[in-house]
A and B are shown apart, each in its own frame.
Chain A
Amino acid sequence: MYQSFIGLEIHIQLLTRTKVFCGCRSAFGEEPNTNVCPVCLGYPGVLPTLNAEAIRMAYVVARTLNCELAEYSLFERKNYYYPDLPKNYQISQYAAPLGRGGYLDIEFHGKRKRVGIHEVHLEEDAGKMIHAGDMSLLDYNRAGTPLLEIVTEPDMEIGDEAELLLQQFRRMVRYLGVCDGNMEEGSMRCDANVSVNRHGQGLGSKVEIKNLNSSRFVRKALNHEIARQEEILSHGGTIPQETRLWNENRDLTETMRTKESAHDYRYFPEPDLPPFTTTAQFLGAVEASLVELPLERRDRFIEQYDLATHQADFLTEERPLADYFEAAVEHGAEAHAAATWLAADVRKMLNRRRIEVQDSPLTPKRLAELLQLLAESRIHGKIAKQTLGEIFETGRDPLEIIRENGWEQITDPATLSEYVDQVLARHPKAVQQVRDGDSKPIGFLVGQVMKASSGRAEPRAVQELIIAKLELKVVQVLSFGGAISGVRRADGLVEPGDLVSLGELFAQDGFADSVRFDELHLGRFLSEEITPQDWAILLSEVASRLQTGAADGIVIAHGTDTLSYTASLLYWCFADTSAPIVLTASVLPHDKPGEEPHPHSDALRNLKAAVRKAMSGEPGVHVIYGDADFSPLNLKFEGLLPFSAPSRAHEAAGRKGAVGDRGAAESAAAGALSLGRFRNWNMESPVYRGRPISREIGELPRAELTRKLEQAVRSVFIAKVFPGMQGDTLIALMNAGVRYFILELFDTGTANLRETPYSLRKAFQHGEQAGALFFCTSQQEIAVDFSEYVTGHELWREGAIPMGRLTTESVYTRLLAALMVAENDDELVKLMED
């Protein structure tokens, strides 16, 4: 087992007005050799003068990195020769850098890690040498630009962590306004060093890697280099101390120079600059320059505005957007709405016009006003978008635009009532359909009112009015297969049925007025036969009912076997529902109407309990089974109770051999409240409500939803790790198109990574190449956390993503939901870890 140690040397150009030791402008991309003077060209007799802004920014960065700030920092000459270095020495810091002993925290797949900062020091940049044909050209515009070097401790283990640290550091300096962090243009640069050794033996020989022009290359080069070194070590070889270059075309590192040819920089104190000594006033200015950092701000946004992590991430990525968002909220915008609009419509407008949000005609105040108009239903969504366009076009206030165009909605109940009455009178057929339990014509009726009012009626108010006028206060019960809606054939076998029979039974119980039974036209099936298409139909039906407000509660009758999947899927899609969504199931079917009901069937009892829950108005997604109200997440169908009860030796034939159990359960049913045994794993108190993965899912057209779900399901594989499992099997699956694995590991997340055919390491390495992701759950009731065992740690190093307390079923459906909305794998991982 090997251990790797990664450290970074990051250089950033500070955004000062002038260069660090002279009065030349510090600017990128100008005519060569125009921002130069005798000082930065190294003419004889010139002296450096320290730029006050540069030293302040340098201390601000060091302070933000939690460094100990030097009261007395010393400049030194670093002597080396290169034509682009005007003085042939670089003024830098060595013995007494301005900052030491700091840290930066990163979060890698849910694990927070502290990376030490060895030191921070200020120096000057060199010029640029360009080789053109048989000539070498020099541009000294960059010479003397203030450069801050940040050296981390070798606290990272894999390239992914280094990439993350670099990205986070970049955001940090952009927030501080001290660097634009552009790695392509070189205003931020990174060299990496890595050493690999046998576990527990400390640092190995240090290999430096240069030519890393993006954070992605940092990751790739380091991971390549670690693999290369491990390969050498595992064959008994040794690693020479050297500097290597990353070859981005060939995806590998190559020797640049060995230790023997290393420089002797002959550092000595710069006699032209006295040591810089801090004063209370200077330190006060440093403190005044500190800002709330992206991570803190993100966490605050989640907390304060109840945003999803990915929303908060988006908003806080750049400081101007975060400032803008808060300004809009300050002006009265609702936070969620502002976040959604900024991420979608506003972003589109900005991209089209290629402007930054802070420079756009859409001021935070205007956005707030627009969203308020929308929230107050004075305009509807389509008009809001049109108004947004107008604001960008004309730079005027939303209210002004709306008034001028006569876009304000009609919300006055009396006026709306007139329109609705007219429409209802004109469409008796649609009205009858709705009264008969079909909610679809509601949309049609709303549309008619909109048409009649030239689009100015407020649709939600119209819809509410229609529902009120048609007196539609209903709990809708959807049948989604399973024994609960099944029937027992004459031979005793259970086959798919429908719920109509139960509806009739309900009538006898005096429930019926307010309970509407909808049978989804899915064909008849048992819950083990569910397809992605079935889910797509269910999701869109639920969504349309929630959206039209046609139901005050929804009950879904389901089979027991796959209940934990459907329940969690509904949660990921509708976790913020205000109308209760209640799933229920039964072990035994009710029998056909008119026939003697099965004496121990739990179907009717569970269904009634579910309907009561749905009518209770308690928001969220619930699973009602027996007397219990389970969370839809981490639901485990653990079996049937009690096994020990005397069997009535019911029907000889049964499916999956469960009939015997069923018999046992039945016999116990007379006394027991529940026949089956469900339990929520890893959960102290049940979770019913929360934030959905995305609110968009339910709004997708059914065909698209089906397509996306089918596509998602095809790319996912659930693999339960077992002794003797071979990495090659997973590779074969990858070759067959699987991109997302849910690995059900042992314990807190362990698996075999020892170098044998039974190791999963090859699968991970192949996965890295193939772009596969591994989400990890446990076979036991315990949270997956890679910090416990060596093998877990190795897994984490290989890029496996721990899913914490979530069970395999919940992770699977979450993955499906996330796959339907994520634009790329980065976003997917964020949604999964949120």
Chain B
Amino acid sequence: MSYWNRVLHDARRREAYTKFVRTQDAGLGAFLEFDPARRLDPPLAEHADPGDVSYAGSVSRARSRGAAAGGETPESALAGVPFAVKDNIAVAGFNLTCASRILEELQSPYTATAVRRMEAAGARVVGKTNLDEFGMGSSTDNSALGVTHNPYDHTRVAGGSSGGSAAAVAAGLVPVALGSDTGGSVRQPASFCGVYGLKPTYGAVSRYGLVAFASSLDVVGVCARELSPLQAVFNVIRGLDERDHTSQEPVSGPSAKVSVVGVLTGLQGLDPAVRAAYERTVEYLQGLGYALREVELSTLKYVVPAYYTIATAEASANLARYNGVRYGLRPERAENPDELVRIARDEGLGPEVKLRILLGTYVLRSGFQDQYYLRAQRIRTAIRNELARAFDNVQAILTPTVPVLPFAHGEGELTAFQQKLADIFTATASLAGIPALSVPCESTTGGLPVGMQLLAPAFAEERLFAVAGRLAEAAGERGLVARPENYPPLPDWAAAKGYELDWS
């Protein structure tokens, strides 16, 4: 970690770093854009204030962090650290493509709050990473703008939708990357790429600047190879933002202490390697002195349908703005505004996105809402309640992150439908709005990583860090997962390439 805050501000080191990333990423495809110089001196005021903002009178909110993003964060916290940002999070000066043809040419006119806070703490954006178009997918294969491979096996996917961010971190190109997580989009690729992936509590991190897929589920998340930078980043980006009325200061209350961990009973449909890893992690926890208690989640089987109903419904409204009128792909000629929009959408949006918009439009039709959308919301409430009850007895819950191992590109190993079913554990936390952390573990077969997911009640992220920290300690110097072959750390690579630089 120590060398990271030196790579940007010295021209020679920056050159080495740039070369390193360009070379390594050529075969990996994590980045859509990479330019470490661009944000070195970011413009201060990028856009107007949010106006005469009102918060609902009933909620009294501390505004300490809101007025000046990161104002109270020490400059040094992340000084000089380069980081990557998923290309559905706005960074002025970079594109904001969402890996979609329709936004391929769009330059962001503003910067997301989470990014501003990172930069206010000294970190700098170095590039934008690939994703499934608009965050819709589990493989990053749904990107219209490039292919991202799994650093452990280029024939396999890096997961998705934050596949680019997870791969970049796993390959050691950046120490941390921001992603977004709607139903598992940070945790699933983190699991596939053998890194930590945090989905914070809904509302813990401002969504301002995160391109909406499903607004009531979307969260800005973090990928990191190590736990401490991940924690540092989370502490910098969390908190109330006056640009996001759904953001909150952490509620005080849940203690960070974990003594009892819940383990799921009746797990079905797991890949044997995943099951083995799960059982081994349970043993680890036991060995670390945690009491274990069985937890049964009867609502688990409703998670995926409820999740896709709500997510697509919201997506159908959120994506309606991409019509080629104000920005983005616009046909050369059109007879009338209607035709212009039709052509722009037809040519600009990929099949998975179109599918989900249609689904969402369908479930919101008047007369059918009760059958689909409202029913899904009732299920969501039931899931939230069942988890709340479970947390009466345990302080954290352990589940696999994904029931499968990283799969091959295309639908040969896992169809699009099966890929959606694999969201079961991650989408549970998303529907409940609670924090979840995917912790990397080594699998028994073929050197592919496997992630285990820790869940905690809302705003109890500290518990996740505590348990994950103990696991990492137990694993010792080597870490929980071996670094992928062919992706040496930057100092080693630079030395091999003849850069005589002092990284210490």
Q: Which residues in A have some Cβ–Cβ distance to B below 8 Å?
A: 16-19, 21-24, 37-39, 41-55, 77, 79, 81, 83, 86-89, 129, 136, 138, 140, 264-268, 271-279, 281-282
Contact = CB atoms under 8 A, between A and B. Distances in A.
Given A23-B51, A266-B361, A272 B245 contact: yes
Given A49-B245, A272-B245, A41 B326 contact: yes
Quick one: which of A17, A22, A273, A278 has the most chain B CB within 10 A?
Answer: A22
A529 B249 CA distance: 92
A49 B325 contact: no
A271 B321 contact: no
Contact of A50 (B211, B245, B313): B245
A272 B246 contact: yes
A616 B170 CA distance: 112
A271 B90 contact: no
A38 B110 contact: yes
Contacts of A37: 47-48
A490 to B, nearest CB: 95
A279 B51 contact: no
B51 A51 contact: yes
Given A88-B320, A272-B245, 12 more contacts: A43-B110, A44-B322, A45-B212, A47-B246, A48-B245, A50-B245, A79-B364, A266-B364, A271-B314, A272-B246, A277-B56, A279-B58
Interface of B: 47-59, 88-90, 96, 98, 103, 106, 108-110, 112, 207-212, 214-216, 242-246, 313-314, 316-317, 320-323, 325-327, 336-337, 341, 361, 364-366, 369, 373
B96 A268 contact: no
Nearest to B247: A47
Nearest to B326: A41
A49 B321 contact: no
A51 B53 contact: yes
A49 B323 contact: no
B50 A49 contact: yes
B53 A271 contact: no
Contacts of B112: 45
Given A16-B52, A79-B317, A274-B56, A47 B243 contact: yes
A264 to B, nearest CB: 5
B48 A23 contact: yes
Nearest to A55: B54
A279 B373 CA distance: 31
Among A39, A48, A49, A138, max chain B CB count under 10 A is at A49
B314 to A, nearest CB: 6
Nearest to B112: A45
A49 B98 contact: no
B243 A83 contact: no
Nearest to B49: A23
Nearest to A285: B57
B82 to A, nearest CB: 22
A276 B55 CA distance: 8
B96 A278 contact: no
Contacts of A265: 366
A44 B321 contact: yes
B320 A24 contact: no
B492 to A, nearest CB: 37
Nearest to A266: B364
A277 B58 contact: yes
A19 B214 CA distance: 25
21 contacts: A18-B51, A22-B48, A44-B103, A44-B212, A45-B112, A45-B209, A46-B209, A47-B246, A49-B53, A49-B244, A50-B55, A51-B52, A79-B316, A79-B317, A87-B317, A87-B321, A89-B320, A264-B365, A268-B314, A272-B244, A277-B58
Contacts of A43: 90, 108-110, 326-327
A17 B53 CA distance: 11
A81 B341 contact: yes
Nearest to A20: B51
Contacts of B58: 277-279
A271 B106 contact: no
B216 A271 contact: yes
Contact of A274 (B49, B214, B246, B321): B246
